[in-house]
Each structure stands twice: as structure tokens, then as C-alpha cells.
Structure 1
Amino acid sequence: MSSLANWSYTAQATIWKRTGATYDYGDPVFSEPLVIMCDYEGGLSKRLGDIGAERVVKNTFWTEYGSAEHGDYILIGASDNPSPISAGADEVMQVIRYADTFERMADDFAIITGG
């Protein structure tokens, strides 16, 4: 972890990765929960407009964890619950990569969830 990330990523989040497998009834199989270091910001999960509801950003997580992908699930805080759904986690909608501008040790990532 870079020295800048060491003082800024002080919160914990739990991520569940999709394994690519599915249960007989079609639901995805997830990996064991993994606790990562991060910082986060909350947002809205739904906006109602004249033509219906729109999904908008719910949470953004900043981290050096670079393996998150669309379809994974993430939760603020540490959890050992094997099910991201019953744990109350949100689906990862987008992951953005940022360069480690100062130390060039590890890139930073914004993991964005939707409601």
C-alpha cells in the first residue's frame, strides 16, 4: 500500500466476487467474502422523474483493490456473511482506474454501486 493510501484508506468494506458458476435455478455463485481497506461516499439509489425511475449512484468506494468487476457485490464494513444479498450488499456497476500519481506503487480504483 502506498504511503498516501495508508492514511486515506482507513475504512473497511466487504466484497463478494462472482465465480462465473450458477446454481441450478440460475442465481450466481459468489466467492467467500473478502474484507478490503477503502474510503467511501454514499449517494442516492433511485431518482423518480416524469418518465419513471432511474438508477443512480448509491455508493462510491476508493481503494487500491483492483479486482472488482461489474456484477460483484460490495458492502460498507466487514462481514463474514457468505451471501452478499442477505448481508445487504450492493451490486458493483462500474470500476474506474486512477494512476498512483505520486509514488507509482499501486493504482487507485473507484468502485461504484447502483441502487
Structure 2
Amino acid sequence: MRLMSQAARFSYTSLATIWPTLGRDDWTGLTTYGSPQSFFCDYSAESVRMTDAKGVEFTTRQVIHTERADIKQGDMVLIGESALASPLAAEAFEVRAVTRFADTFDNVADDFKVMT
């Protein structure tokens, strides 16, 4: 298990679940996802107009703050824990953009703002 900064240990007390994007099935064209994984976070429900890495404008549904560094655009996330194999069955949201911030206080792990 990776070390968390003091600030993250204090503020990231909620759990969320991620289904990482593995790729597309060549036959069906459907996106395939990895197994669900829980992580610590803080979150808010915000409706903000943003632009993703591809330049596509979207309106956020949720904003998640975490130290988890491997979340990327296209992954699926859900506030709370889920063991369901399908992020669609769990009603997870697609990650549309991720912003990285420095770990100003402890220099242990950077912080990330994940927008769905």
C-alpha cells in the first residue's frame, strides 16, 4: 500500500470505485474495463462547463479529489464501493478530465482532480 500524505489522510476519507479502461473489443466495439478497485477520495457534485484533453466541451457531474495517480480519461468511477464487474451496471460515470496538483505540504504524493 502506498503512503498517503498527512493532508490526504485528513481529507480523503470517502471511498470511490474505479473500473480502469482496458481497451476496445475488436468484435463488438465495446469498451472493456478492469476489475473494480476502491480508493480514498473527497468529492462534490458540481456542474461546471469544461473542456477535456481532446478539446471537447462538457459539463461536469462530479468532481473527485484523490492521490490516486493512475486514473485517466475514459475510466469509469463511482462514489462509494462496488464489487459489480460492470461499471454500467453500477451506474458509474465516465472520467472526462483529470488535473494534477502538487503535494504542497508533505511532498509524498501529488493530488488529482477527476471530473466526470
Corresponding residue to 1:19 among 18, 22, 26: 22
Runs of 4 or more, structure 1, over 2 Å off, are: 43-46
Largest Rg, 1 or 2: 1
Displacement of 1:22 = 1.6
Corresponding residue to 2:94 among 78, 91, 111: 91
Does the 8 A contact of 1:23 with 1:29 survive in 2?
no
Match of residue 80 from structure 1: 83
Size of the aligned set, in residue pairs, is 106
Structure 1: runs of 5+ lacking an equivalent:
47-53
Q: Deviations over 1:85-115 (max 9, x none)?
A: 11000000000000000110000000100xx
Residues 56-65 or 14-23, more deviating: 14-23
Alpha-carbon separation, structure 1, partners of 2:100 and 2:88: 26
For the pair 1:59 / 2:52, whether they are aligned, the reply is no
Q: Deviations over 1:52-105 (max 9, x none)?
A: xx8401000000001011100000000000000110000000000000001100
Instruction: State the Cα RMSD in Å.
Output: 1.7
Displacement of 1:23 = 5.7
Displacement of 1:43 = 2.2
Instruction: Please tell me the residue identity of whatever aligns with 2:97.
Output: Q
Residues 1-10 or 14-23, more deviating: 14-23
Q: Deviations over 1:6-44 (max 9, x none)?
A: 010000000000112426211011000000000000124
Does the 8 A contact of 1:79 with 1:87 survive in 2?
yes
Inter-CA distance 45–107: structure 2 relative to 1 (3 Å threshold): closer
TM-score (norm 1): 0.86
Of Structure 1 and Structure 2, which has the larger fraction of its residues in strand?
1
